[in-house]
Amino acid sequence: MENKTGKYFKYAIGEIILVVIGILIALSINNWNDQRILKKEVIAQLKIFSNELKDDIDIFESKIKTYPDDVDYLQKLSKGEYEELDLSQFFYTVVLNDNSILFGDSYANLKTNGGIDLIDDIDLKTNMGFYNDRARIYINEFIEYGISAALAYVDETVLSYMEFDNNNELVKENTIKVIKEKKLNNIINLQLKQKKVLLTNLKNVNEFAKKIKEQLDDYIDAHE
């Protein structure tokens, strides 16, 4: 009886061990499958981020292409070379010729669902974080500062002192007079400096965005 009891006990222990092993294997398979699904979702989000980078680069390059004309216009305004300028564009060029950039939110989604932690390329992960959390924000802050710094003062000056003709365009002679009398050159020079610095920064951020996109596309290709 003792031998039989010992055998039954050993058999029961073996059965328990097999059940535990089976549960652990099932959990491992489930966990592996969950990780596989999550990684697939991360790759899908990274593809969206890559497309957003392409859109960002297009916007950066569009601004880089047009900013030199703005700089030239502002430089001539600052030097008083009014004869060569269309002064009906004064208010638009000095104040309203720029807009902040509407960036995508795929990176924020990756952070929310924990996808960032699954990226095993540390350099890529660091660059993506810096671009999203610092470079993008810095560019928009710079653009918005340039607009807000001039808007209130120039807007009030234009509405109060500058004349508009029947075509709703600024009268050239009056515009020149107001620029001189109301000391708008201070604002013009501020915008000129802002535009030059922003142009340089846009070129740098644009090259950085291109580098990240190249890294990102290589990573996606290697993990699909």
Position 145, amino acid? Y
Q: How far apart are CA 8 and CA 152, in angstroms?
A: 90
Q: Which two tokens stand for residue 185?
A: 């050159």
pLDDT tens sequence for the chain (224 residues): 555 555 566 666 666 676 666 666 655 655 555 556 567 788 888 999 999 999 999 999 999 999 999 999 999 988 888 888 888 788 778 877 788 898 998 898 888 887 888 888 999 999 999 999 999 999 999 888 877 877 767 767 776 777 878 887 778 888 888 888 777 888 888 889 989 999 999 999 999 999 999 999 999 998 87
Give the global pTM: 0.76
The burial class, CB within 10 Å (0-12 / 13-18 / 19+), for 32 is exposed
Q: The domain containing residue 11 runs over which residues? A: 2-223
Total number of domains in the chain: 1
